[in-house]
Amino acid sequence: MSSSNAMAEQSQPSTDELVDSPSSRISVLEIARRLSIGRLAVYSMLEQGIMPGLRLGRRWIITRNAYLTWERTCGLRAGTGLSGKPEVDVVN
């Protein structure tokens, strides 16, 4: 292996590094494939604020980290959802 090939391989981030890097981006097409929906549905979700993303002119910027967090939490924002305390106490 030549030294230029070895340097090129070392400079390429691994898949784990891409997922951990908050600055890496995910495409609308990749999101559509992951969710088994069309690209227009992804754009609609972005425009409605359902999915995290930043509009820059005509383009949408979606960070991989923000998307994976959204996917893992089923789209719930921090502090939303069910409270930790039960509403009913069961007594025997």
The residue-averaged pLDDT of 31-57 equals 95
SS3 state at 18: helix
The residue-averaged pLDDT of 75-87 equals 60
Check the CA dihedral 6-8-28-50 and report its sign. Answer: positive
**Tokens for 20?**
């951990």
Average pLDDT over the chain, rounded to an integer: 77
- Considering only residues 34 and 12, tell me which one the structure prediction assigns the higher pLDDT: 34
Report for 8-12, 27-31, 81-85: range of highest mean pLDDT: 27-31
The residue-averaged pLDDT of 65-83 equals 77
SS3 state at 62: coil
CA distance 8 to 85: 53
